[in-house]
Amino acid sequence: MITDKSIKEIHLGLRKKEFSCEELIKETYGNIEKYDSRINSAITIVDKKTVLDKARQTDNGKKEFDLLTGMPFVLKDVYVTRGIRTTCASNVLADYIPQYDATVYKKLLDLGALLIGKMNQDAWGHGGSTENTDFGPTHNPWDLKRVAGGSSGGPAAAISGRMTVFAIGEDTGGSIRNPAAWCNITGLKVTCGRVSRYGAIAYASSFDTIGPMGKSAEDCAVILERIAGKDPYDATSSPASVPKYTSFLNKPLKGRKIALPKDLLGKGLDVEIKNAILKAVNKFAEIGAEIEEVTMPIFDYGLAVYYVIAPCETSSNLARYDGIRYGFDRSKFTEETIRRIMIGTYALSAGYYDAFYRKAQKARTLFIKAYQDILSKYDAILMPVNPTPPTVIGELMSDPLQNLLADFYTVTQNPVGVPSLAVPCGFTKDKLPIGMQLIGKMFTEELLLNIGHQYQQVTEWHKQKPDIIS
């Protein structure tokens, strides 16, 4: 398959005319037609004829190709796209056609990348399994009885199922990394402000981040170079210069120091995931990195902090979707969304603000200090992404507490603002994917991508694909 190749390999093949952009797009749509009736990764598929016409224009074009020119991609359905339905996986927006483009989408269009579809997710980003959606759950390509992870489960499953070359996800508390780990792809949660959020429907505004999802760290580096940067439409976007991330990928790891929080490898972590992490530690040591054990006792409070602040922010953000503007009552929200609105509204109400919201923000400051203390001594922190392998569809939705616990390892990075890269690192005995994450200082994505790429140069996990498409 052409879609098995990396972005750079596909680009080179297009330039050498080993295959055409039209052939690439036909393969992509062919895979959608073959597999997505069982996977359900897409909410809206862009008209095939329209995209094929653009592909032919790319093939016949005379201008210089960018690495992403002619490359098929998908968006989590949280990004507004002019003239193309945007739902956020909620019936509240089931018929919403935006009148403008999200910045990240416009940047990709300007490079000649080709949008294939808007993908399934947990409605409004509320969930870790892509089951909390009004468009039916997304199934994991590695085991169709299991979830793909969330909330960016649709994009992750589409990459794993070779229905796209890359995707743009969104991460508020693990929503890129969680499905990346469970679908055996690579996903990057960027530093807060690294990529413009303009045109992204908000879940929790101070936690939301826009990031790339692909088959490898190299693919993510290529994408991030092109979507990062200051945006006049987003006052929270950072003016910090954008490095050429791909130029860092091949630097050796000799002398790099990686922290391993030993207290996060105990109770509650699946044994097979723990063993895969420890094998990855040994592999890093083999290629020159220094691994040292550390402790992060404050981590136990991560879920409590996240699930006070995030619902507070979402209760404010979703207040705009009322009957006056959209003509619907609140019955259009899912149970999980209603639950988060109620928790947030309660925590912000008179008499409870100090007890919950203010206290959670103080704890957030302690998390910032804890990460700063460790990352002042180490280049990165290595830890699991998920506590368990992908769950059977229905398990998390029937147990709201377990649904929250699925994000145990990923919810503390967003309140702090630091970047985190999820990469495949093994499989269970049942051939279910396992991922690990690498966390770094703010605006050190190039270092995380370097570490992830070097690991992927000496392992084959990220190259494996599910039996459904083998």
Q: Has 206 been annotated as catalytic?
A: no
Alpha carbon 430 to its chain centroid, in Å, reads: 24
Question: Could you report how far apart the first and last alpha carbons of the chain are, in Å?
Answer: 10
> Contact, 193 vs 178, CB < 8 A?
no
* List 20, 41, 54, 76, catalytic entry: 76
Q: Residue 334 is inside which H or E element, if any?
A: none
Closest Cα partner for 274 from 128, 146, 382? 382
Q: Has 175 been annotated as catalytic?
A: yes
Q: Has 151 been annotated as catalytic?
A: yes
* List 175, 196, 216, 238, catalytic entry: 175
> Contact, 167 vs 213, CB < 8 A?
yes
* List 90, 151, 152, 238, catalytic entry: 151
State the Cα angle at 54 between 50 and 55, rounded to 5°. 115
Residue reference for tokens 């919950």: 356
Q: Which amino acid is at 120?
A: N
**Is the peptide bond between 151 and the residue preceding it cis, with omega within 30 degrees of 0?**
yes
Closest Cα partner for 165 from 117, 100, 237, 103? 117
Q: How many C-beta atoms surround the C-beta of residue 163 within 10 A?
A: 33
**Residues in CB range of 240: below 8 A, 6 or more apart:** 194, 443
Residue reference for tokens 């103080």: 362
Tokens of 204: 């929790």
Active site residues: 76, 151, 175
